[in-house]
Structure 1
Amino acid sequence: MRVIIAEDQAMLRGALSALLDMEDDIEVVGQAANGEQALALVAEERPDICLLDIEMPLMSGLDVAERLKAEQSSCRVVILTTFSRAGYFQRAIRAGAKGFLLKDSPIEELAAALRSVYEGGRAVSPELALTFWEAENPLTEREREVLKLAAEGLSAGDIAKRLYLTAGTVRNYLSEAIQKLEAKNRIDAIGIAEKNGWLA
């Protein structure tokens, strides 16, 4: 199988590439340091699998997965992460990712996961699976959007202008989000949502 690795840490990217290349049935055909390079490589090399880090410059691994899904690419996506955040997992699944693995997984586990995905299966690190099924995002899409803009420092009035809502409606959404997250205030709600990856 032909694989592309997208990871912004050069040392980790090189190590993963070298270790996976030692497997008889895996060939690393490209390495990318950011999401935009990853998309260009997928278009150029037509790999079977793209191994994507979540946190990358220019475009995150989740952004790349969503773009590949929109383009109906045949390249299967496996997400590599250090974060066990339920929100990231849910977004990755919606984006069509077939695998979600921890970066510190043993290379044998990673290779086995890639084979499983290549054969049409799915692969999720066991340590991550329990966390994800237990923590559903309670926020609606609109509440998430409003809270995300609040996290960027926008006032209720600014958020209202950005989303073509009234300031009162924005305050209602913020209030709902605070209640659902059992937060003390807006700042607390933003912290809880970010920790769980629900603003991803």
Structure 2
Amino acid sequence: MVRVLLAEDMHLVRGALRALLAEAGDIEVVAETGHGDQVVPSALAHRPDVAVLDVDLPGADGIAATAALRELLPECRVLILTAHRRVEVLRAALAAGAAGFMPKDAPPDRLADAVRQVAAGQRAVDPDLAARALTAPASPLTEREAQALGLAAEGCEPREIAQRLHLSAGTVRNYLAAAQIKLDARTRLDAVRIAREAGWLPHPAS
């Protein structure tokens, strides 16, 4: 029996997922939560084999919860569920240590199969999104340029970005200008759009 922790903040969706997994016969939902900050405490208390996490959880999001589980309970493998078919979200999830990644509009029977694969030590990633990630061009941005542009995408002004990255405001403006030039963008907002669609921005912090 595969023991599962289910984290989804929408009650109706969580109930539907619980029922779907119960129908599998060999999967048991041993714990559930609607808040990202409760994922790790619940996992430590119930020791599930797999944590099925919505990426958009209140508190700590699914990416942050995945990274915390990877550090504190590495034997619990993670399957991320998301409504976003975006390459950058997949990359952030895999970088955080997720073993699986499925869009919420996938066929229902694929969820149980993905849970079994992840529990067996395999990867379970939506094939269409995986193909997009593999064929996407490499980012022309340096790490610092991507960080600065990612914070700009969150609405931060250069002075705030400078404080958060421990840089001078002038250096941040240089990074943003360089990113805009490299992306052949008309404006900073256009640069954000181009980088986000290509999956070149870091995942926002919770």
TM-score, with length taken from structure 1: 0.91
CA positional deviation for 1:195: 4.1
What is aligned with 1:168? 170
What's the counterpart of residue 31 of structure 1?
A: 32
Which amino acid is 2:19 matched to? Answer: A
> Structure 1 residues 140 and 7, CA, compared in 2 at 3 Å: closer, same or farther?
farther
Tell me what 2:157 maps to.
155
Q: How does 1:118-137 map to 2 (within 5 A)?
A: 118-136=119-137
In structure 2, the partner of 1:69 is 70
Which residue of 1 is the match for residue 53 of structure 2?
52
- Letter aligned with residue 51 of structure 2: C
Runs of at least 5 residues in structure 1 that lack an aligned partner in the other structure = none
Greater CA drift, 42-51 or 4-13: 4-13
Aligned 8 A contact 2:70 2:76 in 1? no
Rounded to whole Å, the distance in 1 between the matches of 2:43 and 2:149 is 33
Say whether residues 1:104 and 2:120 are aligned partners: no
SS in 1 for 2:32: strand
Question: Which runs of 5 or more residues in structure 2 are unaligned?
Answer: none
- Cα offset, 1:59, TM superposition: 1.0
1: CA distance between counterparts of 2:189 and 2:65?
30
Say if 1:67 and 1:174 are closer, same or farther in 2 by CA, change over 3 A: same
Summarize the Cα distance change of 1:16–1:162 in structure 2 as closer, same or farther, 3 Å threshold: closer
What's the CA shift for 1:122? 0.6
Matches of 2:180 and 2:111, distance apart in 1: 39
1:196 shift after superposition = 4.7
Say whether 1:199 aligns with 2:202. Answer: yes
Task: Indicate how the Cα distance of structure 1 residues 95 and 199 shifts in structure 2: closer, same or farther if over 3 A, else same.
Answer: closer
Shift of 1:133: 1.5
State yes or no: 1:177 paired with 2:188.
no
**1: CA distance between counterparts of 2:105 and 2:164?**
40
Q: Which residue of 2 aligns with 1:11?
A: 12
Q: TM-score, structure 2 length as denominator? A: 0.88
Q: How many residues align?
A: 200
Instruction: Give the direction of change, closer, same or farther, for the CA distance of 1:105–1:172 in structure 2 (3 Å limit).
Output: same
Question: Aligned in 2, Cα 1:126/1:164: closer, same or farther, shift over 3 Å?
Answer: closer
Shift of 1:13: 0.7
